[in-house]
Structures are given as structure tokens and as C-alpha cells.
Amino acid sequence: MKWVTLWPMHAKPVPSSAPPAASSFARVSLAIYTLLIVYASWYPFSGWRDMGIKPFDYLWARLPYYWTGFDVWTNIAGYAPLGLLLVLSMYPRLRARWAIVPAIAAGVLLSACMEAGQTYLPTRVPSNLDLLTNSAGVTLGALLGAACSRYFLRESRLLLLRQRWFSGEASRGLVVAGLWPLALIYPQNHLFGLGHLVPPLSGFFSDLLDTPIDLSTAWLNNAQLSAEQYWLADIIVSACGLTGASLLALLLMRRQAPRRRLVGLYLLACIATKSLACALFFAPQNAFVWISPSAVGGIMLGAMMVAGLSWAPPIAQRRVAALALILSLVVTNVVPVNPYYISTLETWVQGKFLNFDGAAQFLSVLWPFLAIWFLYHPVHRKQR
């Protein structure tokens, strides 16, 4: 009597231990975070000139006489994530303690170059104290990354949950989706009106041609919209922005994940982040100043669109998300700036948050393009 195996002839045995894989999430996060550091360090990117000082003379200068604890802790907190991401990004080529020294060296080199570049900016002052505190932040982050790498990369319950709820190719999308709440921190003309290119481009051409240029009035020929037209534009931008970001998050999840609850928590986190930013930047009583009838209408319309499209196939969700973000970009950059938004910015005193505000503005402009890049990335063909 012969025993017949039920194992399919075409199936291949699964290896007991798969080789360690690099973290796309850590590497994409590192690239974006490095861009934010560069932008924050050289913000506002205007008035570049040679002061007759060598770029690295600050290294041998005396320590600044005036400094505050806020500046020290801000520099440490700003560079600590860089050190952590550097260590996680080197896995599996360099593991744990072997990645600490290269991560610290890379972070210190980046900080030294950022301070040297500030030599040519009249609004910034290079400082060896900043270099020391930035280096301390990188060191702290690298040590933390080495201590926690096994829990983030190999044996983490969070990693198991990510594999259970999200697709294997979702790392890039998770980075993009995680940046959306942070991109909403900077005050916008519309609630979810990210990607507003007109102000930075107007400033760039004004500095280049040494004359004030306002692109919005140039291509709109000083057109003035009525209150109803501003209201309609706000609804369109808010609804499209919410729809695009929510569908992008849905695309990352597997069918067995609690998809609707996760998207609901995602939107609540965005609203909480927006309210906290308004309270910190303006005043605590202005935490919910962003709520307006048009914003509420846009949220309701976007929520209905997401609820209906949550049952659609992934390819339809991806196309609708990209179209919604493109439409939001077009309306945001074509419609003149709301006078209420201009008066709001006039009351905003940036103060000590100048570097942070520059990075937040850069992220608010960059995010829609990152999202559209991901939605058209070839990784979706692999999933299909």
C-alpha cells in the first residue's frame, strides 16, 4: 500500500528563515527627513551673498555668548530622528552597534555643511554651538536606533501587525500617508489645500529679477472672486484633498484589516494635529479657527466619496485618488488667495519657530507631488 502526498507538485517549500531585508520605510523616511533639514537650515533661501568670510570659519570661533535652552533642545530633538533613521537605513549591511559610528559621522557632516551654507545667508548665523547640539542629537538618535533596531526591524509586534494589515509593498505609501498630518500644520488658504506653489515661485522670481512679482495676479489679471466662489473653491479643494489622502491610505491596507476604522482614526489624527498647530502658532482659543461652513461641507462631501469608493477595486481607488489630488492642486494654485487667509498670516508671529515653519511650509508644498508620485509608482503593478 502506497501513501500519496497531498503536497502540490508545483509548490516550492518555504524556507524556514528568510534573509534579512532592508527597510524601505526607513530609507524613504531618511531621504525626506534630510530634505526637511536642508530646507529648515537654509530657510528662507533668499539674499545669498558673499560676506567675505570662509564657510568653515565658525568652527574655530568662540562659542556664542547668547543662547537659550530652547535652542539647544530644539537642535537635539531635530537631529535625533536623523541619527535613528540612519542606523535603521543601514540594515542589513551594518547592524546595531556597527552602524552607530557611520551614522554619527554622516549626521555631523550634514550639520557642518548646513552651518557652513548659512555663512552666505544674511538672515542666518552659523554657530559651532549649533553643530555641537546637532551632533549630540545625532548621537542620541543613533544609540537609540541601535538599541531598538531589533524591535523595529526583526522581532517587533508592530512589524507583525504591519505585515498582517498592510501589503508587502506599502512602505513608501506609509511614509507618504504619515506625512499628510504634518503637512497640514502650516496654515493653508484652504483646509486641505496643499501644494500651493504660487507664493514660493513668486518669491523666487522676485529675488531673481530684483522686482516684486505676484504670479497669482499676473495670470488672473487681477480677477476678484465673490464670496460664493471662494466658498465653492474651498469645498472642492477640501473634498478632493481628503478624498485623495484617504484613498491613498486605503490602498495600503489588506482586505482583512479594519480598513474603515483605520481611515477614521487617520482622519481624526489629522484634525487633532491641525487643531494643535493652530493653538500653538496663534493662540489656544484659536485651536478650531480652521472650522468654517465651507470646510465642513468639504469634509462631509469627501467623507461620502471615500465611503462609497471604499468598496471599489484598488485600481479605481488609485485613479480617483490621483485625479482628486491633481484637481485640488489646480484649484489651489489658480484661485486667488482668500483675503481672510492673508489677514490670518499677518497675525502669525513665527519667532523661535522660524526653522520649523520653513520645514512645515516646504512639506506642505511637497506632499501632493509625493502622493501623486506614489500613486503612479510601478509598485502597484506588482500588487496587481
- How does pLDDT run across 20-33, given as a tens digit for each residue? 667 777 888 898 89
pLDDT value, residue 142 = 93
How much is the average pLDDT of 54-62?
Answer: 87
Q: Which of 34-43, 47-56, 76-85, 210-219 has the lowest mean pLDDT?
A: 210-219
Q: Are 294 and 238 in contact (CB under 8 A)?
A: yes
Query: Cβ atoms within 10 A of the Cβ of 210, count?
Result: 6
How much is the average pLDDT of 310-319?
Answer: 91
Q: Are 252 and 173 in contact (CB under 8 A)?
A: yes
* Position with higher pLDDT, 323 vs 94: 323
Distances (CA, A) of 354 to 46, 124, 263, 300, 360: 14, 11, 32, 34, 10
Find which of 93-107, 140-154, 213-227 is predicted with most confidence, using mean pLDDT: 93-107
* Position with higher pLDDT, 294 vs 46: 294
* Position with higher pLDDT, 362 vs 357: 362
pLDDT value, residue 345 = 57
How much is the average pLDDT of 8-31?
Answer: 61
pLDDT value, residue 14 = 38
Exposed / middle / buried, residue 185 (Cβ in 10 Å: 0-12, 13-18, 19+): buried
- The DSSP secondary-structure symbol of 8 reads -
Band of the pLDDT at 8, cuts 50, 70, 90?
A: very low
Lookup: cell for 54: 570662509
Lookup: cell for 231: 466658498
- How does pLDDT run across 241-290, given as a tens digit for each residue? 999 999 999 999 988 888 889 999 999 988 888 888 777 776 677 778 78
Residue 334, CA atoms < 13 Å, CB-side half-sphere: 11
Q: Are 262 and 253 in contact (CB under 8 A)?
A: yes
* CA torsion, ordered 259, 260, 262, 263, to nearest 10 deg: 110
- Residue 128, classed as helix, strand or coil, is helix
pLDDT value, residue 244 = 95
Whole-number Å distance between alpha carbons of 260 and 129: 48
Residue 207, CA atoms < 13 Å, CB-side half-sphere: 11
How much is the average pLDDT of 367-374?
Answer: 93
Is residue 203 over pLDDT 80? no
Lookup: cell for 226: 465673490
pLDDT value, residue 16 = 38
Longest Cα separation, the chain: 94
